Structure 1
Amino acid sequence: MFNPMTWDAPYLVVVAALFVIVMLRANGTYWLGRGMTAGAEHTRLAKLLRSKHYANASRWLNRWGAPAISLSFLTIGIQTVINLAAGVTRMPLRRYLPAVTVGGLLWAFLYGTVGFIGWAAVVKLWQFSPPLLVGVLLLAAGGIAWSLLRRETPAEVHAESLPRG
């Protein structure tokens, strides 16, 4: 059901369906961000607003503006917090909507092709050699862990986000 390569529909219909899905998700996240700013410090959402991922997303959004929205759809794990940050910072819709539309189109085309080709490769690798797949996954997990461990500490993130004067 969730694998567009198995849908019995023309490619452009699959891409259009994926585009609708990503637009609903991204815009829902944006509006959640806009709605949560009032009183968020007194809820469980305050933890998210103080997280390193949110600080990184906010810094990226402030640096790059609307193109950060579009480019976030080419990443893994930052897309949601970028859209949330756009809502929290109340990015004007005249800038947000074109950016999220471009990003959504990029995501839909990529997810409808390369994303599931990658999944098909994982399935083929499992069929060929389960230990090899486990090794590749462990190597990927090690790379992610290494990347996360060498990132900035929360104090560095906080210090970087303070205004300079």
Structure 2
Amino acid sequence: MDQLLTWVIDAVQSMDPVLRTLIAGVAIMLETSILIGLIVPGDTVVLVAAVGVTDVWQGVFLVIAVVIGSLLGESIGFWLGHWIGPHIRHSRIGRWIGEDHWVRSERYLQRRGGIAIFLSRFLPVLHSLVPLTVGMSEYAYRRFIAWTLPACVLWATVYVSVGSLVAGSYKELADRVHYAGYLFVGAILLFLVIVFAVKKVISRREEHHMSDADGPSA
């Protein structure tokens, strides 16, 4: 396993840093703007790119690129929702997503406002649908960006930091510890499990909040 991981990490690190950073930024932009995130999670793209980080400045520029890509993607999603949101919703891809998800996204925005925009960056499915839903609402673009910017910065910083630190630690241990590869895989899996658990907790809390909000009006 160590040889395979060393080869993968070396391959990622051997890429031109500028190209690697641009690919990550563009991938994140596409994730939200055209719903690719429903198929290929942005988490994977950023973690792989972060593995290639070899110094602080590469990490800083990667975070900046991911944040810019996220903002561009969410802005495109917002304006697509504003201009042709209903058409997308009733198109083939909109029906594939499922009307229940569209309704959930609408209700979530109505109940939580800006908090929904911030938290959606960390929630499955909703992080791709909320920008479109906000665009179809009367929500102002400036308010949308004001809420999504800090979420994008936090998300990008955490993923780039974890990916680069774990890869760096593996490279230091690989020549001294014969099971370093297992430690690397274990660390990544632990991080993903923690992320999954946090997303579940946030999702359940938000669902509970919405159910409470629906109760009195029923």
What is the aligned length? 139
Counterpart secondary structure, 2:138: coil
Judge conservation of contact 2:85–2:133 (CA < 8 Å) in 1.
no
> Which residue does 1:24 correspond to in 2?
72
Which digits, 9 at most, give the CA deviation of each residue in 1:15-39, with x for residues without a partner? 1111111111111111111111465
Q: CA RMSD in A?
A: 3.8
C-alpha change, 1:48 and 1:63, in structure 2 (3 Å) is farther
Local SS of the residue matching 2:124:
coil
What TM-score does the superposition give when structure 2 sets the normalisation length?
0.49
Q: Please say if 1:6 is aligned against 2:52.
A: yes
1:1-165, aligned counterparts within 5 Å? 1=20, 2=24, 3-7=49-53, 10=57, 11-37=59-85, 39=87, 43-44=91-92, 47=95, 51-114=99-162, 116=163, 127-128=181-182
Gaps of 5+ in 2: 1-19, 25-48, 171-178, 201-213
Bigger relative CO (Cα 8 Å, ≥ 6 apart): 1
> Bigger CA drift: 41-50 or 89-98?
41-50
Single out whichever of 62-71 and 34-43 deviates more from structure 2.
34-43
Query: What one-letter code is carried by the residue in structure 1 that aligns with 2:74?
Result: A
Which amino acid is the alignment partner of residue 72 of structure 2? L
Q: Distance in 1 between matches of 2:146 and 2:93?
A: 27
Is the CA contact (8 Å cut-off) linking 2:53 and 2:164 kept in structure 1? no
Residues in 2 aligned to 1:107 and 1:30: alpha-carbon distance in whole angstroms: 19
Report if the CA contact (8 A) 2:117-2:144 is conserved: yes
After superposition, the C-alpha distances for 1:94-133 in whole angstroms (9 at most, x for unaligned) are: 321201212221222122123x37996xx9x9x54xxxx9
Structure 1 position 49, deviation (Å)? 8.0
Provide, for residues 39-73 of structure 1, a one-character-per-residue CA deviation record: whole Å limited to 9, x for no partner. Answer: 55764355268522222111111111012111111
Task: Identify if the C-alpha distance between structure 1 residues 59 and 118 changes in structure 2 by more than 3 Å, giving closer, same or farther.
Answer: farther
User: What TM-score does the superposition give when structure 1 sets the normalisation length?
Assistant: 0.63
Question: Separation in 2 of the partners of 1:39 and 1:64?
Answer: 25
Matched residue SS, 1:74: coil
1:73, 1:79 within 8 Å by CA — same for their partners in 2?
yes
Q: Percent identity?
A: 21
Residue 17 of structure 1 aligns with an amino acid whose one-letter code is: A
- In structure 1, the residue matched to 2:16 is none
